[in-house]
């Protein structure tokens, strides 16, 4: 086992200064104490021998404390039933167990403080001492084991006592590096200091600043890369993220201004390019919007103004050409109302446009005539009215001799045929009671009769029978076009 009296320094990793100290331990007082314990144990031994039974051992009669060990080192093995110890040896063994438990706790404490970062050599020597002590215990050299554990524990305490100096050194170095914006190195130093004293709020705050500083630096480097690659939106997002972390970082504002300038020019060029593309696809509204946006970025650009003016002119021409084609189709299909709507839209775009003005007049004429013919064909019995009939004759005369569209000509021919048939009277046999007077409303009056034959044009009629002391009786009758002879019975035969 190594003699700790020769260890005069505790070297720090990567530092110029070393932990100084002496691991010499005076065991004179311990030996006196052990002698006293031995006397007590001797007395206990005689009592134990008196109580000894073949099935019990000294290890079973003396309860030993459990030792928790967290390292890879194995705890000293227990004494088997075949072992035989003197009272002094048993005392040394128990002392070894007690001290080794404290050594394990000391080791955990140093490892939690990242001891390998600031006293690696000293800690490795400490581990070697512990390993030597474990070996002595395994070989049942309990006095050597006890002394070794005690020396290792003392050495661990001395290493731990130097943690304050290490803390100051690492925290000071970390603050200096942080001020120089060397964030990664600052973080490494401050992290060691935080292991030594996790409760120091200043260290934790500086550690967080170093972490954020390094993160911001990485974000700035990425943003510069994307700026060089003209991926400005990605760069801007990275700078926004960096700004949220450290609003005072001056590089962020400078790069943001650079992005705005590049983005403005890039946006202008893109708007012009996209605008010309839309115009080429006849999407004039989209092209015009893009050229207008380009002018908001550079109001003095003659290129953008010319592009906007050209797009508006092309839009009007394209719209009028399209409407003219649609109107021609509507006129050919004799869809006069649709044609009128198209001509109206064309005149809204460009008043006095010739094709729309002429087409509108033609469509109005044909639409008016078609509607009148459609009404006659839909309700042909209206022609039984003289005024309606005369109006129809005037319509026929107006269209006579014109070269009409096919559907309109067909409607005219059908209307003429209906009009001719309406003027052919139908024989009607009126039958009454020879006591009632009969009247055709807005027409003829007849004195009481039993039977009478009259001639009526096709149409709708209302017959009314009257007789003193009786209720008037009315009857509506429709005489169809081309109808054969009809019989109508009517009389006032219901008393009041």
Helix 142-161 vs helix 87-112: crossing angle, to nearest 10: 30
Quick one: pLDDT at residue 343?
92
Tell me the CA end-to-end span of the chain in Å, nearest whole number: 148
For residue 24, the Cα-to-chain-centroid distance in whole angstroms is 69
- Give 271: exposed, middle or buried? Use CB within 10 Å, 0-12, 13-18, 19+: buried
User: How far is the C-alpha of 81 from the C-alpha of 55, rounded, in Å?
Assistant: 9
| Nearest by Cα to 169 from 219, 117, 133 | 117
User: How far is the C-alpha of 283 from the C-alpha of 281, rounded, in Å?
Assistant: 5
- Mind listing the pLDDT tens digit for each residue in 390-434? 999 999 999 998 999 999 999 999 999 999 888 899 999 999 999
User: How far is the C-alpha of 191 from the C-alpha of 174, rounded, in Å?
Assistant: 9
Quick one: pLDDT at residue 21?
35
User: How far is the C-alpha of 91 from the C-alpha of 64, rounded, in Å?
Assistant: 11
Quick one: pLDDT at residue 408?
93
**pLDDT tens, position by position, for the chain (496 residues)?**
545 444 444 444 433 333 333 333 333 333 333 333 343 344 343 333 333 333 333 233 323 333 334 344 444 555 543 458 899 999 999 999 999 999 999 999 999 998 998 889 999 999 999 999 999 999 999 999 999 999 999 999 999 999 889 989 999 999 999 989 898 999 999 989 898 888 889 989 988 998 898 899 999 999 999 999 988 889 999 999 999 998 988 889 999 998 988 888 888 899 999 999 999 999 999 999 999 999 998 889 999 999 999 999 999 999 999 999 999 999 999 999 999 999 999 999 999 999 999 999 999 999 999 999 999 999 998 888 888 989 999 999 999 989 999 999 999 999 999 998 888 999 999 999 999 999 999 889 999 999 999 999 998 999 999 999 999 999 999 999 888 999 999 999 999 8
Domains and CATH numbers, the chain: 4-161 (no CATH), 170-248 (1.25.40), 269-332 (1.25.40), 336-421 (no CATH), 424-489 (2.60.40.1120)
SS3 344: helix
| CB neighbourhood size of 70 (10 A) | 10
SS (H, E, C) 68-107: CCCCCCCCCCCCCCCCCCCHHHHHHHHHHHHHHHHHHHHH
Quick one: pLDDT at residue 76?
53
- Give 88: exposed, middle or buried? Use CB within 10 Å, 0-12, 13-18, 19+: middle
User: How far is the C-alpha of 58 from the C-alpha of 79, rounded, in Å?
Assistant: 9
User: How far is the C-alpha of 379 from the C-alpha of 458, rounded, in Å?
Assistant: 12
- Mind listing the pLDDT tens digit for each residue in 355-370? 999 999 999 999 999 9
Give the pTM.
0.45
SS3 361: helix
Q: Which two tokens stand for residue 386?
A: 């003289």
């Amino acid at each position: 086992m190594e003699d700790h009296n020769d260890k005069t320094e505790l070297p720090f990793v990567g530092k110029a200064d070393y932990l100084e100290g002496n691991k010499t331990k005076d065991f004179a007082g311990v030996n006196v104490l052990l002698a006293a314990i031995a006397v007590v144990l001797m007395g206990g031994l005689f009592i134990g021998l008196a109580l000894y039974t073949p099935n019990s051992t000294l290890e079973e009669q003396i309860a030993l404390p459990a030792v928790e060990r967290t390292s890879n080192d194995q705890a000293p093995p227990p004494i088997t039933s075949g072992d035989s110890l003197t009272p002094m040896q048993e005392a040394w063994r128990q002392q070894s167990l007690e001290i080794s438990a404290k050594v394990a706790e000391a080791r955990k404490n140093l490892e939690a403080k990242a001891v390998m970062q600031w006293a690696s050599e000293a800690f490795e020597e400490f581990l070697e001492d512990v390993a030597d002590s474990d070996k002595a215990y395994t070989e049942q050299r309990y006095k050597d084991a006890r002394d070794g554990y005690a020396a290792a524990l003392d050495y661990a305490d001395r290493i731990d006592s130097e943690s304050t100096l290490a803390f100051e050194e690492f925290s000071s170095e970390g603050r200096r590096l942080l001020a120089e914006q060397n964030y990664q190195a600052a973080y490494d130093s401050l992290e060691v200091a935080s292991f030594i004293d996790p409760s120091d709020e200043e260290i934790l705050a500086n550690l967080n600043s170093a972490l954020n500083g390094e993160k911001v630096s990485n974000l700035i480097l990425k943003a510069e890369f994307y700026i060089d690659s003209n991926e400005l939106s990605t760069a801007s997002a990275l700078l926004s993220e960096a700004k949220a972390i450290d609003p005072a970082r001056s590089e962020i504002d400078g790069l943001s201004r650079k992005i705005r300038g590049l983005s403005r020019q890039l946006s202008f060029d893109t708007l012009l390019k996209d605008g010309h593309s839309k115009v080429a696809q006849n999407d004039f509204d989209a092209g015009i919007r893009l050229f207008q946006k380009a002018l908001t970025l550079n109001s003095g650009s003659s290129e953008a103004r010319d592009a906007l003016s050209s797009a508006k002119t092309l839009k009007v021409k394209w719209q009028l050409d399209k409407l003219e084609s649609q109107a021609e189709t509507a006129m050919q299909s004799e869809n006069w109302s649709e044609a009128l709507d198209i001509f109206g839209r064309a005149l809204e775009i460009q008043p006095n446009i010739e094709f729309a003005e002429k087409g509108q007049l033609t469509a109005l004429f044909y639409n008016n005539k078609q509607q009148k013919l459609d009404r006659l064909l839909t309700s042909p019995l209206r022609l039984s009215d003289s005024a309606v009939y005369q109006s129809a004759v005037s319509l026929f005369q107006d269209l006579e001799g014109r070269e009409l569209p096919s559907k309109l000509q067909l409607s005219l021919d059908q209307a003429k045929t209906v009009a001719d048939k309406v003027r052919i009277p139908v024989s009607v046999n009126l039958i009454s009671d020879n006591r009632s007077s009969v009247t055709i409303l807005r027409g003829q009056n007849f004195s009481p009769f039993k039977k009478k034959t009259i001639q009526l044009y096709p149409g709708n009629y209302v017959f009314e029978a009257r007789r003193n002391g009786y209720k008037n009786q009315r009857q509506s009758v429709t005489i169809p076009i081309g109808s054969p002879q009809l019989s109508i019975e009517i009389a006032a035969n219901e008393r009041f």
